[in-house]
Amino acid sequence: MLRNILITGGAGFIGSNFVQYFFEKYANYYAVVLDKLTYAGSLDNLKKCESLPNYTFAQGDICNASLVSEIFEKYDISDVIHFAAESHVDNSIANPLSFVETNVLGTATLLEVFRKKYPQSTTNRFHHISSDEVYGTLGKVGYFTEETAYAPNSPYSASKAGSDMLVRSYFHTYNLNVVTSNCSNNYGPKQHSEKLIPTIIRYALAEEPIPIYGDGKNIRDWLYVMDHCRAVDLIFHEGRSGETYNIGCRNERSNLQIAYKICELLDARHQRKSWNYSKLITFVPDRPGHDRRYAIDATKLRTELHWKAEESFDTGIAKTVEWYLERISKKN
């Protein structure tokens, strides 16, 4: 079946990995990628897609209703997969209103254009990509499930929680064919340098102090980006309308464990004899509202849609470090 799919935020980290994977797999689908190309998005991430016959890029803001409507009409958009978001927690602390604008108003704009084109449709789908951060923080035990109450602790997570609630409301009010997925921390190729894993790699290779917030014991459930892409594929095609699906694989690691693992991989690659990269690890003041632990229970996704991660953390982080090393060597 021919589907003309609008992918928002497709020039970013997760979106660009998904676009290449998805439209190589489904040659009978057409992609229109809409991205504002802020600092976090780059057309370099989509270079391998430029040769695809079923791919078009459009630069613009998801808050621009007239632009979104024009794209819907010009390309006869049938479905939306919505990745676009401001996502860096530190930036949300410094400039919260930009997160509200993009994540809440932008999502509302997309939903409203989609609703007007496909009221009551059961075949046209709106898939909203969200975060486990909407659930707040966990103690030493337990997992987030789809039934966990929302308790966001940063402007970023609050804005994503707001967008999730909008999507939910359009299902219950308008019977719109929507699904939402909440994923754990992604890592892998193309991730922006501001994020934890690229930051550790960058500082280590520059032989500069590797900054770790607080005591380094904040824990995240780490998800390799291509495993996330495969999950989104399944949820988009087979997820039940109005449902939420959590995506995670119980790869819990503290920030400090991540730093030591990357240093270990770099030590093996560079075979230093006088010192190890881990000597560069430096603790810096913690950020405000820093959630202590996230962990996802993906039982619903596994049992309903038969998804499972293909990468362990050890294989995924090794591939990630190699990708950054190759990228850096090409620049030098």
CATH of the domain at 182: 3.40.50.720
pLDDT at 274: 81
pLDDT at 273: 67
Kindly list the catalytic residues. Answer: 132-133, 156
pLDDT at 1: 61
* Number of compact structural domains in the chain: 1
pLDDT at 168: 98
- Identify whether 142 is part of a domain: yes
**Containing structural domain, residue 143:** 3-186+223-249+295-309
pTM of the model: 0.95
pLDDT at 327: 83
Rg (the chain; Cα; Å): 20
Query: Quick one: CA dihedral 115, 72, 181, 30, positive or negative?
Result: positive
Residue 188, CA atoms < 13 Å, CB-side half-sphere: 23
DSSP secondary structure letter of residue 104? I
Integer distance in angstroms from the first to the last C-alpha of the chain? 45
Query: What φ, ψ does residue 143 adopt, rounded to 5°?
Result: -140, 155
**Alpha-carbon span 113 to 117, nearest angstrom:** 6
- Identify whether 203 is part of a domain: no
pLDDT in tens, 18-44: 999 999 999 999 999 999 999 889 999
**Tokens representing residue 93 in the block:** 């602390």
Task: Yes or no: say if 98 and 105 are a contact pair by the CB < 8 Å rule.
Answer: no
- Identify whether 280 is part of a domain: no
Give the list of residues 6+ apart from residue 75 with CB closer than 8 angstroms, or none.
4, 6, 30, 32, 56
- Identify whether 204 is part of a domain: no
**Alpha-carbon span 94 to 52, nearest angstrom:** 39
- What does the pLDDT profile of the chain (332 residues) look like in tens digits? 689 999 999 999 999 999 999 999 999 999 999 999 998 899 999 999 998 889 999 999 999 999 999 999 999 999 999 999 998 888 999 999 999 999 999 999 999 999 999 998 999 999 999 999 999 999 989 999 999 999 999 999 999 999 999 999 999 999 999 999 999 999 999 999 889 999 999 999 999 999 999 999 999 999 999 999 999 999 999 999 999 999 999 999 999 999 999 999 999 987 766 889 999 999 999 989 898 999 999 999 999 999 999 999 999 999 999 999 988 766 65
User: Helix, strand, or coil here: 53?
Assistant: coil
pLDDT at 87: 86
What is the amino acid identity at position 317?
A: I
**Tokens representing residue 296 in the block:** 């996802």
- Identify whether 319 is part of a domain: no
- Identify whether 212 is part of a domain: no
For residue 212, count CB atoms less than 10 angstroms from its CB and return exposed for 0-12, middle for 13-18, buried for 19 or more.
buried
- Identify whether 209 is part of a domain: no
Question: Within its chain, how far is the Cα of 309 from the centroid?
Answer: 16
DSSP secondary structure letter of residue 100? I
Q: What are the helix (H) ranges across the chain?
A: 13-25, 65-74, 89-94, 96-99, 106-117, 155-174, 196-205, 225-238, 255-270, 299-305, 313-331
SS3 string of 194-249? CCHHHHHHHHHHCCCCEEEECCCCCEEEEEEHHHHHHHHHHHHHHCCCCCEEEECC
The CA-atom distances, in angstroms, between 327 and each of 37, 159, 202, 330 are 21, 33, 11, 5
Angle at 143 between CA 140 and CA 147, to 5 degrees: 140
- Identify whether 25 is part of a domain: yes
Residue with tokens 């962990």: 295
Sheet holding 219-224, edge to edge: 185-187, 219-224, 252-254
Q: Which of 259, 267, 251, 252 is nearest to 283 (CA)?
A: 259
**Tokens representing residue 3 in the block:** 């589907």
**Alpha-carbon span 50 to 95, nearest angstrom:** 34
